[in-house]
Structure 1
Amino acid sequence: MSVSQPLIHDRPSHAERTALSDARMVDAAVGLICSKGATKTTLKEVGEIAGYSRGLASQRFGSKDKLFTFIVRSVGELWLEDLRRAVLENIGIEAIEKALDAHYAFIVRDAPAIRAFYILWFKSIGPDEELKKVVANIHDRRRKDVEKWLRKAIFAGEISKEVDCKSAAQNFCAAIIGVVYQWLANPADKEQIKALHETLKLQTILSLRRNSVGSMT
């Protein structure tokens, strides 16, 4: 075996180098979005802060909106993975409780990336169709997850069949976005954010139980 073989073997592949540069540029973009806002973030700065040429971010992503879409999709997938691990096979009220606990832990565990994710989430209200599509897809998957938990709970007899699963899921997901807005406005107050998650948990449980009791009277 020649001495050059270990060096060749240890050299990162093109895919590994690409993944590393992507990760560094995403980290740079997250920092800029959190400190300057999405509008003032530029691809030039992203490349420079990541330690690469000014044009690499533009070459890799094509446009700022495509970079933003990449960030939202990447962080969104991390959240959905966390959610699946937290909820497991639980349904109904238990699934709601575990999902809210997981969401609180998620936003306070990795605040810069999650803060950037939700800044871009609210930015999707604007004209960027690609970003809007990605955010809408994540939101739809969240809503369908909640709806599925409720339908399974109805089938198991845990909550009443009178519960409107689709409306309940829509209201729940909308309420979470309201909590997120409070967090973006005051990220340092973790006690308030925890209390808002707990309040939403209690309100959702009471609503589901009230509907269930009402259907049996």
Structure 2
Amino acid sequence: MKTTVRRSGSAAAQQHVGAIGEAPGRVAAPAPGRVAAPLQPRRTQAQRRAQAEQRLLDAALEIVARTGSVRMTLAQVGEAAGYSRGLAAHRFGSKAGLLRALAAHINARFVAQIPAASANLSGLAVIRRNIRVYFERTDRTWTTTRALLVMMTEGFMEGSAMRGDLAEYNRAALAALEKHIRIGIAAGEGRADVDPVTMPVILLGAMRGVMLQWLLDGDIDLLRVRDRMLELVDRTLAR
């Protein structure tokens, strides 16, 4: 009489391991000499939301820099970011809300270019640093600058919904320059007869005006302009 040998459950499982590489309900051990990749923690809802908002703003920035904000739609931004057509409207509420957030996003990108070693400067050192950062940015497509200049141009057109927000953005930039000019004067490094309210208007207008010309005519040497502006600061602001 032939005897039938029943395989144990462990033997059956061992055969299954050989077939697909892992036992049911278990993670296969790494092959000899190979280190298992660490498991990545799942992102929280807040992290996913922040990433989605970042991608939407980056997409809007590219669109505005290329074709302006007037023709841009929220659905277009959602699709360009790789999401649904309705996500931008859900996140920002309206096109005006998106553009308001985009202005803050542009400012954050500029601040991110500031070297950590110079983050705690004050007075005229900040004015000089900002001039250097403005003309030495690593984004060689100048997407951020293009988008801001386009938005400002569209902002003063009749009926523009962006005018108030962009005016506020501009006032904040002027106030930051004024603050450090006043600090420089108080510290004795700046000339006492300098007008701390008017000089920021001149400096910011010159910087943006140069960039507008350069975007139209790439033959302008930005580094030479940077050096002349630094000399201008030393001659007109410093003691």
> Shared fold (TM-score greater than 0.5)?
yes
Give the TM-score taking structure 1 as reference length.
0.75
Deviations 1:80-123 (A, max 9, x none): 4545854633422x332222001113374572234223322332
How far 1:181 sits from its partner (Å)?
1.7
The alpha-carbon deviation at position 153 of structure 1 amounts to: 2.4
Distance 2:182 2:58 in 1: 39
User: Residues 177 and 200 of structure 2 are in contact (CA less than 8 Å); yes or no, is this contact kept in structure 1?
Assistant: yes
Residues 1:107 and 1:71: Cα distance change in structure 2 (over 3 Å):
farther
Residue 190 of structure 2 aligns to a residue in which SS? coil
Corresponding residue of 1:88: 120
% identity of equivalent residues: 25
2:168 aligned residue: 137
Q: What SS class does the counterpart of residue 106 from structure 1 fall into?
A: coil
In structure 2, the CA distance between the partners of 1:107 and 1:144, relative to structure 1 (3 Å rule), is farther
| 1:53-92 paired onto structure 2 within 5 Å | 53-80=84-111, 82-83=113-114, 85=116, 86=118, 88-92=120-124
8 A contact 1:83–1:102 mirrored in 2: yes
The CA RMSD measured in Å over matched residues stands at 2.9
Structure 2 CA distance for partners of 1:87 and 1:110, relative to 1, 3 Å: farther
User: What stretches of structure 2 of length at least 5 have no aligned partner?
Assistant: 1-24, 27-39
What's the CA shift for 1:79? Answer: 2.3
Q: 2:44 aligns with which of 1, 4, 13?
A: 13
Tell me the TM-score normalised to structure 2 length.
0.69
Q: Which residue of 2 aligns with 1:195?
A: 224
Letter in 1 for 2:207: I
Q: How many pairs were matched up?
A: 200
Matches of 1:107 and 1:39, distance apart in 2: 28
Of 196, 199, 216, the residue aligned with 1:185 is 216
AA in 1 matched with 2:236: S
What SS does the corresponding residue of 1:73 show, helix, strand or coil? helix
Matched residue SS, 2:136: helix
Q: Identify the residue that residue 197 of structure 2 maps to in structure 1.
A: 166
- Higher fraction of helix: 1
Q: Which amino acid aligns with 2:233?
A: T
* Alpha-carbon distance in 1 for matches of 2:139, 2:224: 13
**Inter-partner Cα distance in structure 2 for 1:23 and 1:176:** 27
Structure 1 CA distance, aligned partners of 2:65 and 2:174? 27
- Aligned-partner Cα distance in 2 for 1:23–1:149: 30
Q: Does the aligned pair in 2 maintain the 1:73–1:134 contact within 8 Å? A: no
**Structure 1, unpaired ranges of 5+:** 4-8, 213-217
Distance 1:89 1:56, change over 3 A: closer
Does the CA-based 8 Å contact 2:128-2:233 persist in structure 1? no
Tell whether the 8 Å contact from 1:87 to 1:98 is kept in structure 2 after alignment.
no
Higher alpha-carbon Rg: 2
Note closer, same or farther for the CA distance 1:146–1:59 as it changes in structure 2 (3 Å cut): closer
